[in-house]
Amino acid sequence: MSPPILRFVQRGQLQACAEVPPDRTLLELLREDLHCTAVKEGCASGDCGACTVTLAERDAHGRLRYQAINSCIRLAHSVDGMALWTAEDIGAADGALHPAQRAMLECHGSQCGFCTPGFVMSLFALHRQHRGDPVTRDEALHALSGNLCRCTGYRPILDAAQTMHHWPESTQDEAATRAQLEVLSHSDAAQAPDTDPAAAFYARPRTLAELLTWRAAHPQALLVAGTTDVGLWITKLQRRYAQIIDVTRVAELRRIERGDAVVTIGAAATLTEAFDALAEDRPQLMPFFERFAGRPVRNAGTLGGNVVNGSPIGDSMPLLIALGATLVLAGAQGERRLPIEDFYLAYRKTALAPDEVLRAIEVPRPQPGEYVQAWKISKRLEDDISAVCLALALQLDGDRVLSARVGAGGVAAVPARAVKTEAALLGQTLDAATLDAAAEVLRGEFTPISDMRASGDYRRQVLGNLLQRVLDELQRGAEPALAALQPELVR
Ligand SMILES: Cc1cc2nc3c(=O)[nH]c(=O)nc-3n(C[C@H](O)[C@H](O)[C@H](O)COP(=O)(O)OP(=O)(O)OC[C@H]3O[C@@H](n4cnc5c(N)ncnc54)[C@H](O)[C@@H]3O)c2cc1C
Ligand code: FES
Ligand code: FES
């Protein structure tokens, strides 16, 4: 069986591409097959933003949801049924520039120009998300967090972001795009697994039942979500995959449900969606979430992908451990639930069986008297990997600690729960003496390695320091005290 025909809308036209290999990246398809050379390749690892394109999908209400993503680590087949724009596609037919392009020109936002198509596409997504209304400096900074410029400097580019609403947008393709996507969605037929175990395929199941059928038929196939980890296995490690099952169309895995006791986050909810849902209950965590990669990676990557990838320096797991999250694993035999800390067996080895998928992550809702905070220590604010990460959830009765859960990253072969530190906090009065003692326990609880990001000694020292910060924050009156501290050290 050949991979299915890949269909998407570009420049108002339907693109239909046959015989696209399952592991071809979107950047390869655009540049090499379709000759859209405005899209640039810089790092091929999601770090620089030169390859940024904008995608749109219809949301549950039929509206278009625009997002900037990195095409270098995105698989071509994943955009089937979507609309896509590159910097060549957004000007008007008469040659008039789009407001994002015009503002970059007027503000002198480009020198060598290599990064510019990527910046323009992040700005285009921002312009569409704001429906042409003004954006704040902060919104611009976040929207451009995945784009690097090595020569212009960011001030003119941020000026462009804040002035693009001054220019009229002459291309209004929204209604036509919505109609085209609707037509595509009607012709999206279900695929059944091939009986030939060696056949190449890119499967896009739409229900959990279809996904489990594919998984059972092809346990050796690569399961993918946003491919912000997997994409690098292809571009950097040069691995090839002929059989791919994409979980991002599965309705049950995309859903986020808010119950009385837990928020259930579908494993294929993007990091942007998942973090928004978690921050609705615990807004003090937003600065921590904004430290995760940059906006395009959070728009594509999923919470389930982060959890299953199981990197010891992954950032969501320490927090999910502290919050007492439960993983819902689905397989041919039904579902089972596992506390997240029991999922990690050894370095990059998890309890997921070959026929199973992660369906959802259940996160308990806040209780009165709760204190929750998480910190990431890295050398750069955005798009950087943690040297260490610490997350803490306390249940307090006045100043007495009724329960404590502590998650840590960058300290062991797996994301870890600091049970000795929890014991040092439990039942104690939350004061300087308790935190000093608990910090000493935490510094001794793990034996982190030394590597290019930090020495083991530094990691141990910083872990304890983070715990000691709790009192400082509580004394300042609230968790948002975080924002008042040195952002480059804290956020
Ligand atoms: C530039 C850049 C910056 C990054 N920064 C950070 C960072 O700051 N912090 C951090 O923690 N990570 C970071 N990452 C890593 C990555 O973005 C995250 O791990 C992300 O959450 C992975 O999700 P994904 O959907 O892209 O997973 P994919 O790459 O699609 O898959 C990852 C793994 O999960 C498996 N998988 C995915 N979904 C399921 C499922 N439902 N059931 C079973 N298995 C599944 C896949 O088979 C694969 O083994 C960064 C990556 C890049 C490229
Ligand atoms: S080429 Fe650098 S992010 Fe894609
Ligand atoms: S203009 Fe040269 S890298 Fe940005």
The span from the CA of 128 to the CA of 125, in Å, is 5
Q: Are residues 161 and 257 in the same domain?
A: no
Q: What is the pLDDT of residues 283-315, one digit of tens each?
A: 999 999 999 999 999 999 999 999 999 999 999
Q: Quick check: helix, strand or coil at residue 330?
A: strand
- Give the domain CATH number at 330: 3.30.390.50
Would 31 be classed as within a structural domain? Answer: no
CA–centroid distance, 305 to ligand 1, in Å, is 4
Would 407 be classed as within a structural domain? Answer: yes
Q: What is the mean pLDDT of residues 332-340?
A: 96
List all residues 6 or more positions away from 294 whose beta carbon is below 8 Å from its beta carbon.
49, 145, 146, 147, 382, 383
244's enclosing H/E stretch is: strand 243-246
Radius of gyration of the chain (CA): 23
The span from the CA of 479 to the CA of 472, in Å, is 10
Please identify which residue in the block is written with the tokens 């795009």. 177
Q: What is the mean pLDDT of residues 54-74?
A: 95
Q: Quick check: helix, strand or coil at residue 99?
A: helix
Would 205 be classed as within a structural domain? Answer: no
pLDDT of residue 381: 84
Q: Are residues 276 and 387 in the same domain?
A: yes
CA–centroid distance, 49 to ligand 1, in Å, is 17
Full-model pTM = 0.94
The span from the CA of 434 to the CA of 455, in Å, is 27
* Distance from the Cα of residue 131 to its chain's centroid: 24
Instruction: Select the more confidently predicted residue: 153 or 196.
Output: 153
pLDDT of residue 483: 35
**Could you count the other beta carbons within 10 Å of the beta carbon of residue 457?**
11
Would 184 be classed as within a structural domain? Answer: no
Sheet harboring 370-377: ordered strands across? 370-377, 388-397, 400-409, 416-417
Q: What is the DSSP string of 20-35?
A: --TT-BHHHIIIIIS-
Would 438 be classed as within a structural domain? Answer: yes
Q: What is the pLDDT of residues 359-387, one digit of tens each?
A: 999 999 999 999 999 999 998 888 888 89
Residue 42 Cα: closest atom of ligand 2: 1
Please identify which residue in the block is written with the tokens 């935490």. 442
Q: What is the mean pLDDT of residues 140-160?
A: 96
- For residue 489, name the pLDDT band (cuts at 50, 70, 90): very low
Ligand 3 site-directed mutation target among 152, 154, 157, 158, most atoms within 8 Å of CB: 152
Q: Are residues 278 and 383 in the same domain?
A: yes
The span from the CA of 183 to the CA of 16, in Å, is 14
E strands, 114-158, are none
Would 42 be classed as within a structural domain? Answer: no
Ligand 3 contacts (CB < 6 A) are 110-116, 149-152
Sign of CA dihedral 76, 78, 81, 82: negative
In contact, 16 and 29? CB cutoff 8 Å:
no
Q: What is the DSSP string of 327-344?
A: EEEEETTEEEEEEGGGSE
Domain-ending residue, one of 141, 166, 191: 166
Would 440 be classed as within a structural domain? Answer: yes
Would 1 be classed as within a structural domain? Answer: no
pLDDT of residue 384: 86
Residue 111 Cα: closest atom of ligand 3: 1
Q: What is the mean pLDDT of residues 69-85?
A: 98
Closest Cα to atom 21, ligand 1: which residue?
A: 306
Q: Where are the alpha helices (DSSP H) in 316-400?
A: 316-322
Q: Where are the alpha helices (DSSP H) in 345-455?
A: 419-425, 432-445
**Could you count the other beta carbons within 10 Å of the beta carbon of residue 182?**
11
CA–centroid distance, 44 to ligand 2, in Å, is 5
Sheet harboring 222-224: ordered strands across? 201-203, 243-246, 222-224
CA–centroid distance, 384 to ligand 3, in Å, is 20
**Could you count the other beta carbons within 10 Å of the beta carbon of residue 229?**
18
Domain-ending residue, one of 121, 146, 166: 166
Lowest average pLDDT, out of 21-30, 87-96, 97-106, 297-306, goes to: 87-96
Mean confidence (pLDDT) of the chain: 93
- Give the domain CATH number at 124: 1.10.150.120
Q: What is the mean pLDDT of residues 39-65?
A: 95
Closest Cα to atom 5, ligand 1: which residue?
A: 293
Strands 262-266 and 256-258: antiparallel
- For residue 171, name the pLDDT band (cuts at 50, 70, 90): confident
pLDDT of residue 196: 79
The whole domain housing 121 covers 99-166
- For residue 328, name the pLDDT band (cuts at 50, 70, 90): very high
Overall number of domains in the chain = 2
Strands 370-377 and 326-331: unpaired
Ligand 1 site-directed mutation target among 230, 255, 270, 348, most atoms within 8 Å of CB: 230
Rounded to the nearest 5 degrees, what angle is found at the Cα of 137, between the Cα atoms of 134 and 139? Answer: 75
Domain-ending residue, one of 131, 166, 201: 166
The full length of the chain comes to: 491
User: Tokens standing for 472?
Assistant: 């400082």
Q: Are residues 262 and 369 in the same domain?
A: yes
Residue 73 Cα: closest atom of ligand 2: 4
First-to-final CA distance of the chain: 49
Ligand 1 contacts (CB < 6 A) are 45-47, 73, 223-230, 247, 253, 267-268, 271, 292-293, 297, 301-302, 304-306, 308-309, 314-315, 357-358, 383
